[in-house]
Structure 1
Amino acid sequence: MELDHPAAPPASAVVDPAIAAATPVLSVAGLTTSFLREGHWHPVVRNVGFDVGLKETVAIVGESGSGKSVTALSIMRLVPAQNGRIQGSIRLNGLELLTLPDKAMRKVRGNDIAMIFQEPMTSLNPVLTIGFQIAEALIYHRDMSRSAAEAEAIRLLEKVRIPAAAARFHEYPHKLSGGMRQRVMIAMALACRPKLLIADEPTTALDVTIQAQILELLKLLQEEEGMSVLFITHDMGVVAEIADRTVVMYGGEAVEAGDTARIFASPAHAYTRALLSAVPRLGSMAGRPRPMRFPIVDKLTGTSDVPVETPDTVAAAERPVLEVANLTTRFDIQSGLFGSVCGRVHAVENVSFSLHAGETLALVGESGCGKSTTGRSILKLIRPNSGSVLVDGEDVLAMDSITLRAMRRRMQIIFQDPFASLNPRMSVRTAIAEPFYAHGLATKAEARDKVADLLVRVGLTPEMADRYPHEFSGGQRQRICIARALALEPKLIVADEAVSALDVSVKAQVVNLMLDLQASMGLAYLFISHDIAVVERMSHRVAVMYLGEIVEIGPRAAVFGNPQHPYTRKLMAAVPIPDPARRGDKRGVSNDEIRSPVRPPDYVPPARQYREASPGHVVQVWGEEWEKREGS
């Protein structure tokens, strides 16, 4: 089904009507991409059509498996010829790409069409410097000399706001942060001044502040370079932020297309309504004291359930399940022949908090702030330097291995990547039953019954127990990990970015599942995340971390309703707003990188002072030292 370009340009577009009416930069018609499996061609993209006008941004949205990325790869003709087939028409400024010889198509790639991939670390060559990789594209496509290409590469690095670009020209990808690596990918894509930039999930793996920086950068560079952008994402908040028009894909087909503002205001297709209903909106929990389930819209009928607040299960009168006091974890950096300590990573610095049964404490902050290290230190998966961790009044850090093994029945962890945390050679039944066998709690027959019950509890079926991890979707794999974590009926679960890698609708389903399980079992969650909008939806209290320290902690309503610390306000300002009408709002996004937690061996952290902003809402006192450190 080809979806026509709207007769009038969208209200939010900056394209002149006369230009918009001209030949589009990219015109896709009747695109069908198939892959050969067991001797038969199976289409994964079917009859898709859309246009991208001059200086226009068109977003293709949908969940994993909807055909978004295959559409982009088809446009670039990167589908493997031995088992892939592309049919239809793809025209770039009137030039048909599908009939171009391979040599001519190689000239188009990188020169007329450039692509930014989701994961920059797998797209950049780890054994070549970033400067060499950018210069290589300039030499190949623009026939520059080596010296001219290097000078232009430094200019491009400066253009994408990489500080000290000349010094970083000779650095390798692993020395850069995720946000900086993505900027390098953008610089490489812009090297030959392409007419069309395809951005395939370029911000999905990034922190909210880095994501905001990249989106602002793309908008600025598009205006400066006059590019057209095809933006592929599953994040409707990002779509509202950047797209003039939107194409919604489901099951390999384009089910709806049109002006972004119109789609957000009155989505026509049930699947579009389902996507929009699952978008967490910062501020939507104002006035609600307890977490609240996401509304779930049926993708085929468009009918929605009624979200309700979770019951109050916090056992405030009892002793906390978890008490953390002055927790400190540092990692030595060694160098030289004899491995002398030349510095230390101050990953967690003097962190204290408590967590009650039936309560969710969210730990938020950017990558590198110490969130995951805090969670692993609590479970003694990493050995802290000092402090105390009490679970049900017992000191975890003082336990020997045998006592700790027994204690781990009461505390479990859910990791971010379910595929990496499940053994691919182990069936789901074996993976979930493993804790029973390890602790000697069930016979084989009893374990079989318990596994079936756990699968039902997390929304799967007992028949799935004999499958292997690769046979499930990402959301289903995360449900399996939750079932495994519940096997020993723990009191405390550390959820380390447990929903960050999931599509928006699957994320909503998993959050709802976690809230339902908490209500029925009285679980205490330490919910580690950089997704501020999801945190607001499911947490009772929030702790904000920066460079290993908690700078603000308190009830969710107090922290989100009246953020006190400048870093908390910076995090909240960076959250994309899923409302195209507010696209022009200035959010004060900083382009600074998060500071390094590496300190000299003799560094002694200064004593921190805290003040109580409201009952239970505590803020680290900042002053000249913090402002000097942040340049604010």
Structure 2
Amino acid sequence: MAGTPILSVRDLTTSFLVDGEWKSVVRKASFDVGAGETVAIVGESGSGKSVTSLSIMRLLDTASSRIEGHVMLSGRDLLSLSEKEMRGVRGNEVSMIFQEPMTSLNPIFTIGRQISEVLTRHKGLSKQDARAETVRLLEKVRIPNASARFDDYPHQFSGGMRQRVMIAMALASRPKLLIADEPTTALDVTIQGQILDLIKILQEEEGMSVLFITHDMGVVAEIADRTIVMYRGEQVETGLTAEIFHHGQHPYTRALLSAVPKLGSMENRPWPTRFPVVDMKTGLATEPVEVAGTVSKGMTPILAVKNLVTRFPIRSGLLSRQTGSVHAVENVSFDLFQGETLSLVGESGCGKSTTGRSIMRLVEPTGGQIELDGYDVLRLDPVGLRGMRKSVQMIFQDPFSSLNPRMTVGAAIAEPFVKHKLGTARQAKDKTADLLEKVGLSTDMARRYPHEFSGGQRQRIAIARALSLDPKLIVADESVSALDVSIKAQVCNLLLDLQQSLNLAFLFISHDMAVVERVSHRVAVMYLGEIVEIGPRVAVFDNPQHAYTKKLMAAVPVPDPARRGIRRGISNDELKSAVRGMDYQPPKREYREVSAGHLVQVG
């Protein structure tokens, strides 16, 4: 690497005080970031990548943390500066953007005031000049009608637009180095693509360096010149991104790469396929195995949804009169058969989760028909609803919030079995032991509590709990999206194995197109509460017809460094709203059949 690096980290070791002892979580990390260069630090939860960035910025609590080594920024060692001197560095020479912009923005101040504060504090600009510069920055990060939005509050922006505001704030003082800590993880795939493009364009325009922290190898391939792989607090491999992808040496690097679902990898595979499993010691992966289906389409569907409508009233004024509605689900129809996986895909706000919750009557539908395993779901009284829920169970995105922290996992798994009076206490205990083994956990774990498990293990416990009533249908609502890439692969494999052995039907709700391609028999694409395209997975992925389906697929990061120069084109449009007035009449939709069972909305 030519020239003096902007940032030079040597032997960085960070320790935390745990039960009176110092425990190191980052050990001897050393790397450089050159002028105008993008370096990615990649690894899963607990690898030490975020702690590395917080150590560089000196944002850790000094009472419970200890940072050793050298962090040189343009010749100055940041670890030797006083706190006052460090405040002059943060936001001025080095800026940072975080994963969740809503927690980084103050909800009681306008976004214009928050960005202006950086300019008046670090650059000494007058109030008027700071306002003009703030509007210029908002235009630079492609926020439409920037001058009018200066006085808007954070809650008035979508997630993607809030992240743009954070980038504008980070760029306000023209830093030499931008540290981006998982800045796209919480965003929908199309918004993620826009933010990645935006960072690349702004980097070229401003000539700044970027330290990009992520667990997503697809994102790494698209943005990084060089890559640092971290595992359990240690730097296990460093090199040019293309070299790491094509000739990665460390078993963990190869494990990370093989676990990444690649869009298009299911070509010529008609059935859902297990992810390859990598031996962490050798780095060798198993061959992907097709899970031959038992889909019984000649029979009555386990779930038949016809013209489902779910709307949420909007009330305002002194008397809380209804002034409009959120049309969350609008005229949705589909069938789901035993042993089949139908995936509902789309971005946040498209209505896919509300569809799943409406089917289970966790929210009350406004109209339509739902027939589930012989039940007319919308006509059920509380007793009938309780009986129906033996046939259908739900797995949520965050298993920790769906498990009682004061209940052992054994008791949590047995609870539905006991509540529905399906057997004795002894039978409940045996059932729990059997389910723990089914989901790949040991029976002695039944005595532990949820906080004693990792995220992936907790999701397995949530799956075991869902299986305790022997359901025929499982609604999996973003059940793998919060998991690290290798854990995501393991949980998807578990779901496929359970489907094959128990002949389960899955309604798989997700925004991750690459995972959906791997696990689905059929796919339904939702946009603003409506299904715009539905059909066999092979037909939809090989021959997408609707413009929105094409947009979703084009936005998926592909783990191939050769695509690094690609720009998708940044859209300045915020996602359209599903809020409608009282007099709104939904248009009658028509569908065209492209091929057998492959339907696309016309107009």
Q: The TM-score by the shorter chain falls in which range?
A: over 0.9
User: Given residue 473 of structure 1, which amino acid in structure 2 is its aligned partner?
Assistant: S
| SS of residue matched to 2:435 | helix
Partner of 2:374: 393
For 1:296-327, what per-residue CA distance to the aligned partner results, in whole angstroms no more than 9, with x for missing partners?
Answer: 11122212222210022111111110000000
Residue 100 (str. 1) matches residue 103 (str. 2): no
Partner of 1:418: 399
Q: Runs (4+) of structure 1 moved beyond 4 Å?
A: none
- Give how far 1:459 is off: 0.9
User: Given residue 300 of structure 1, which amino acid in structure 2 is its aligned partner?
Assistant: K
Is the contact made by 2:193 and 2:568 (CA closer than 8 Å) also made in structure 1? no
- Give how far 1:583 is off: 2.1
Is the contact made by 1:282 and 1:532 (CA closer than 8 Å) also made in structure 2? yes
Moved more, 280-289 or 135-144: 135-144
| SS of residue matched to 2:4 | coil
| SS of residue matched to 1:592 | coil
Is the contact made by 2:111 and 2:150 (CA closer than 8 Å) also made in structure 1? yes
Structure 1, unaligned stretches of length 5 or more?
1-19, 623-632
User: Given residue 295 of structure 2, which amino acid in structure 1 is its aligned partner?
Assistant: V
Partner of 2:67: 86
Partner of 1:496: 477
Residue 253 (str. 1) matches residue 241 (str. 2): no
Partner of 2:466: 485
Moved more, 443-452 or 183-192: 443-452
Structure 2, unaligned stretches of length 5 or more?
none
Is the contact made by 1:281 and 1:578 (CA closer than 8 Å) also made in structure 2? yes
- Give how far 1:451 is off: 1.2
Residue 509 (str. 1) matches residue 490 (str. 2): yes
Partner of 1:138: 119
Residue 286 (str. 1) matches residue 267 (str. 2): yes
Residue of 44, 52, 56 corresponding to 2:25: 44
For 1:440-460, what per-residue CA distance to the aligned partner results, in whole angstroms no more than 9, with x for missing partners?
Answer: 123322222211111111111
Is the contact made by 1:573 and 1:589 (CA closer than 8 Å) also made in structure 2? no
| SS of residue matched to 1:70 | helix
Residue of 336, 360, 368 corresponding to 2:317: 336
User: Given residue 325 of structure 2, which amino acid in structure 1 is its aligned partner?
Assistant: R
Moved more, 171-180 or 378-387: 171-180
Report the Cα distance in structure 2 between the residues aligned to 1:590 and 1:570, rounded to whole angstroms: 11
For the structure 1 residues 527 and 174, does the alpha-carbon distance in structure 2 shift closer, same or farther, using more than 3 Å as the test? same
Residue of 291, 303, 309 corresponding to 1:310: 291
* Identity across the alignment (%): 69
Residue of 201, 206, 219 corresponding to 1:238: 219
Report the Cα distance in structure 2 between the residues aligned to 1:123 and 1:480, rounded to whole angstroms: 32
Report the Cα distance in structure 1 between the residues aligned to 2:111 and 2:405, rounded to whole angstroms: 34
Residue of 177, 194, 197 corresponding to 2:175: 194
Residue of 491, 499, 518 corresponding to 1:518: 499
Partner of 1:384: 365
Partner of 1:163: 144
Report the Cα distance in structure 2 between the residues aligned to 1:540 and 1:589, rounded to whole angstroms: 32
Report the Cα distance in structure 2 between the residues aligned to 1:414 and 1:600, rounded to whole angstroms: 34
Partner of 1:600: 581
Report the Cα distance in structure 2 between the residues aligned to 1:614 and 1:580, rounded to whole angstroms: 35
Residue 459 (str. 1) matches residue 432 (str. 2): no
User: Given residue 185 of structure 2, which amino acid in structure 1 is its aligned partner?
Assistant: T
Is the contact made by 2:194 and 2:569 (CA closer than 8 Å) also made in structure 1? no
Report the Cα distance in structure 1 between the residues aligned to 2:199 and 2:508, rounded to whole angstroms: 31
User: Given residue 40 of structure 1, which amino acid in structure 2 is its aligned partner?
Assistant: E
Moved more, 331-340 or 248-257: 331-340
User: Given residue 116 of structure 1, which amino acid in structure 2 is its aligned partner?
Assistant: I
Moved more, 416-425 or 403-412: 416-425
Partner of 1:432: 413
Report the Cα distance in structure 2 between the residues aligned to 1:476 and 1:174, rounded to whole angstroms: 34
User: Given residue 428 of structure 2, which amino acid in structure 1 is its aligned partner?
Assistant: A
Is the contact made by 2:359 and 2:370 (CA closer than 8 Å) also made in structure 1? yes
Partner of 1:148: 129
Residue of 45, 59, 64 corresponding to 1:64: 45
Is the contact made by 1:343 and 1:599 (CA closer than 8 Å) also made in structure 2? yes
Describe how 1:260-279 pairs up with structure 2 within 5 A: 260-279=241-260
Is the contact made by 1:67 and 1:253 (CA closer than 8 Å) also made in structure 2? yes
For the structure 1 residues 511 and 37, does the alpha-carbon distance in structure 2 shift closer, same or farther, using more than 3 Å as the test? same
| SS of residue matched to 1:229 | strand
Is the contact made by 1:347 and 1:547 (CA closer than 8 Å) also made in structure 2? yes
Report the Cα distance in structure 1 between the residues aligned to 2:122 and 2:180, rounded to whole angstroms: 20
User: Given residue 148 of structure 2, which amino acid in structure 1 is its aligned partner?
Assistant: A
Report the Cα distance in structure 2 between the residues aligned to 1:126 and 1:468, rounded to whole angstroms: 35
Moved more, 392-401 or 245-254: 392-401
Is the contact made by 1:196 and 1:229 (CA closer than 8 Å) also made in structure 2? yes
For the structure 1 residues 349 and 305, does the alpha-carbon distance in structure 2 shift closer, same or farther, using more than 3 Å as the test? same
User: Given residue 549 of structure 1, which amino acid in structure 2 is its aligned partner?
Assistant: E
For the structure 1 residues 27 and 200, does the alpha-carbon distance in structure 2 shift closer, same or farther, using more than 3 Å as the test? same
For 1:184-213, what per-residue CA distance to the aligned partner results, in whole angstroms no more than 9, with x for missing partners?
Answer: 111111111111000000011111000000
| SS of residue matched to 1:397 | helix
- Give how far 1:64 is off: 0.2
Partner of 1:629: none
Moved more, 339-348 or 539-548: 339-348
Residue of 578, 581, 594 corresponding to 2:562: 581
Report the Cα distance in structure 1 between the residues aligned to 2:445 and 2:163, rounded to whole angstroms: 38
Partner of 1:14: none
- Give how far 1:586 is off: 4.4
User: Given residue 37 of structure 2, which amino acid in structure 1 is its aligned partner?
Assistant: E
Is the contact made by 1:329 and 1:384 (CA closer than 8 Å) also made in structure 2? yes
Residue 374 (str. 1) matches residue 336 (str. 2): no
User: Given residue 77 of structure 2, which amino acid in structure 1 is its aligned partner?
Assistant: E
Residue 472 (str. 1) matches residue 463 (str. 2): no
TM-score by length of 2: 0.99
Report the Cα distance in structure 2 between the residues aligned to 1:495 and 1:607, rounded to whole angstroms: 30
- Give how far 1:588 is off: 4.7
Report the Cα distance in structure 1 between the residues aligned to 2:36 and 2:538, rounded to whole angstroms: 41
- Give how far 1:579 is off: 0.3
Residue 74 (str. 1) matches residue 55 (str. 2): yes
Moved more, 554-563 or 424-433: 424-433
* Alignment RMSD: 1.0
Is the contact made by 1:205 and 1:501 (CA closer than 8 Å) also made in structure 2? no
Is the contact made by 1:26 and 1:90 (CA closer than 8 Å) also made in structure 2? yes
TM-score by length of 1: 0.94
- Give how far 1:393 is off: 3.0
Residue 571 (str. 1) matches residue 552 (str. 2): yes
Report the Cα distance in structure 2 between the residues aligned to 1:469 and 1:168, rounded to whole angstroms: 44
Is the contact made by 1:25 and 1:196 (CA closer than 8 Å) also made in structure 2? yes
Report the Cα distance in structure 1 between the residues aligned to 2:420 and 2:256, rounded to whole angstroms: 42
For 1:225-281, what per-residue CA distance to the aligned partner results, in whole angstroms no more than 9, with x for missing partners?
Answer: 111000000000000000000000001000000000011011100000000000111
Is the contact made by 2:177 and 2:211 (CA closer than 8 Å) also made in structure 1? yes
Moved more, 570-579 or 417-426: 417-426
Report the Cα distance in structure 2 between the residues aligned to 1:432 and 1:274, rounded to whole angstroms: 31
Residue of 428, 437, 450 corresponding to 2:431: 450
Residue of 273, 292, 295 corresponding to 2:276: 295
Is the contact made by 2:275 and 2:288 (CA closer than 8 Å) also made in structure 1? yes
Partner of 1:630: none
User: Given residue 399 of structure 2, which amino acid in structure 1 is its aligned partner?
Assistant: P
Describe how 1:26-37 pairs up with structure 2 within 5 A: 26-37=7-18
Is the contact made by 2:345 and 2:513 (CA closer than 8 Å) also made in structure 1? yes
Partner of 2:160: 179
Report the Cα distance in structure 2 between the residues aligned to 1:389 and 1:303, rounded to whole angstroms: 46
Moved more, 374-383 or 135-144: 135-144
